Amino acid sequence: MLQSTSLPAAGRARLPSRRTATVMAASGKTVMITGGNTGIGYETAKVLLAKGYSVTLACRDASRASNAVQRLQQQQPGAPVDYLLLDLADLASVRDAANKWMDSGKQIDVLLNNAGVMACPRMETAQGYEYQLGVNHLGHFLWANTLLPLLKQNPNPVRIVNVASTAHMFGKMDFDDLQSRNNYDRWRAYGQSKLANILFTYELARKLQPSSSITANCLHPGVVRTELSRYLMTDPDALTSKLLTALFTPFTLSPEQGALTNIYCCSSPDVEGISGKYYDSCKPVASTPASYDTATAAKLWSVSEELTQAYAKAPAAV
């Protein structure tokens, strides 16, 4: 059974090219969503639950995750939703969460790597890595690779979906200062982490295809009003941030609207068997030329393996 989830009229007026998200009913299929307790991750969970998917929210805060599960079950009594503790800023937590899931004997049909942080002051993860690179890329790199042996055992097609951003166009992989220790710029670091998301997706798709039934795609959800922007007011130029926020808020998407491309990539029959693509507004589009550089992607993969290997259950290789 297929059903289209449409944008409200106001959303369509601002985004005339945005498609509806056709959702394939999928009783028994399991979706794992990082950062699923809020924002577009939560809205994605809500729609997929309504279409028969089982959902696990992989979140770092037990209280907030439990609250999200309760809200979803209040809205949809009996909904098959639970949570798994996962802190992407700590590779030990990533390893332990992945191993706990694999030991549970449960499978994953859709792995939605949705969690992220944007434009924060310079901070470091538990392993001392720049926070945006660590959470947005390295945490998800280890998460996906640790779960990959399980995904390969699934007799059904599996989708890996990475939430990137159009901000990757401002990114450059600076392997000489990957941790942004010199002249830190929060937006440049964010752009680098989002470019890493896309390079990782394309390289993973190349390594998996054509012999695998696992696909890997990435997407830009749009400019969405979510907690992702919580660090904007901490910008040294806070007045500029406030003015920009006031100026652009009327043109941003609600979490419900921003979730549509997530939902599309996770569940639409249009994406079945498609891999190595970047989606915006529920359609495949070109990412920047830098994101297609295979040498850069291969180097990023190698460096990411080195940075995460101490926490890998097995070598992070496909």
In angstroms, rounded to a whole number, what is the distance separating the alpha carbons of residues 99 and 95?
A: 6
pLDDT at 314: 53
Token output for 262:
């997530």
H-helix or E-strand spanning residue 23? strand 21-24
pLDDT at 56: 99
- Report the candidate in 113, 95, 122 with the shortest Cα–Cα distance to residue 231: 122
pLDDT at 22: 64
The residues carrying an active-site annotation are: 190
pLDDT at 7: 34
Instruction: Enter the DSSP assignment of 137.
Output: I
pLDDT at 256: 92
Token output for 36:
């699923």
The span from the first CA to the last CA of the chain, in angstroms, equals 34
* Per-residue tens of pLDDT for the chain, all 318 residues: 334 443 333 333 334 344 456 666 666 899 999 999 999 999 999 999 999 999 999 999 999 999 999 999 999 999 999 999 999 999 999 999 999 999 999 999 999 999 999 999 999 999 999 999 999 999 999 999 999 999 999 999 999 999 999 999 999 999 999 999 999 999 999 999 999 999 999 999 999 988 899 999 999 998 855 544 454 545 555 544 554 444 444 457 788 999 999 999 999 999 999 999 999 999 999 999 999 999 999 999 999 999 999 999 754 445
For residue 200, how far is the Cα from the chain centroid? 12
181-225 confidence digits (pLDDT tens):
999 999 999 999 999 999 999 999 999 988 899 999 999 998 855
Q: Which CATH class is domain 20-222+256-311?
A: alpha beta
pLDDT at 11: 33
In angstroms, rounded to a whole number, what is the distance separating the alpha carbons of residues 65 and 97?
A: 14
pLDDT at 210: 81
The residue extents of the domains of the chain are: 20-222+256-311
Residue corresponding to tokens 């002051």: 121
